[in-house]
Amino acid sequence: MFTGIIQAVGSIATLQPAGGDLRLRVHSGKLDLADVQLGDSIATNGVCLTVTELPGDGYWADVSRETLDFTTLGGLQPGSRVNLEKALTPASRLGGHIVSGHIDGVGEVVSAVEDGRSWRYVMRAPDGLAKYIAHKGSICVDGTSLTVNAVHGAEFELNIIPQTRAETVFAEYRPGSPVNLEVDVIARYLERLVLGDAAAVPGQAGVSLATLAENGYLRG
């Protein structure tokens, strides 16, 4: 588990194809690895990766076919900068929100404009994730915990303060840039809970108006 508070910006050193998936070496930059052991987790652009080797200046991790299909990691190049966060401990401060490191989908940067000393970004989520994004709710973008300022269909707005922009890869985003998105874990579980027994039915698409009415969420 993570908090979405980025601890350092690292860079991709090596992408090594391995039996249909990928081995990834990351230079960890200023991230302190003194307390990291083999098998520990590090969120890399929001993707929870298991450390398999510690060469001293970073770490190696295996990236499965599943992860390559549902994240942006396969599109990175040597030198690409990435947000890094070590897994939280019982003593960690939960400065962001609860983040699992399991990416729900790849979104896209629509625009980025200066707004005072901050920057206002508009991003577009895949249509299937739009229902989980709420005004003033939380979302994780490339591992960064953020508050949603506004929602317009599948598009949502974010206000990025100077500190966040300086300590993450946000300054490198351009219109069209792909980003890893993780929606609020509470929203995902709430949907399943509202389904009730119907959650066990194969092919159940999600919460419908009929489901909401049956559970007392709609009034006639």
Residues 6+ apart with CB under 8 A from 83: 6, 9, 43, 44, 45, 46, 142, 143, 144, 168, 169
- Delimiting residues of CATH 2.40.30.20 domain(s) in the chain: 8-86, 105-184
Residues 6+ apart with CB under 8 A from 7: 31, 84, 85, 86
Location of structure tokens 């707004």 = 115
Location of structure tokens 């520990």 = 40
**Model confidence at 95, in pLDDT bands (50, 70, 90)?**
confident
Assign a CATH topology to domain 105-184.
Elongation Factor Tu (Ef-tu); domain 3 (2.40.30)
Question: pLDDT tens digits, residue range 62-80?
Answer: 999 999 999 999 999 999 9
Write the class of the CATH domain 8-86.
Answer: mainly beta
Question: pLDDT tens digits, residue range 133-190?
Answer: 999 999 999 999 999 999 999 999 999 999 999 999 999 999 999 999 999 988 888 8
CB-based contact 137:182 (threshold 8 Å): no
Residues 6+ apart with CB under 8 A from 8: 28, 29, 30, 31, 84
For residue 120, the cross-strand partners are: 113, 159
Residues 6+ apart with CB under 8 A from 155: 110, 122, 123, 124, 125
Extract the tokens encoding 13: 């050193």
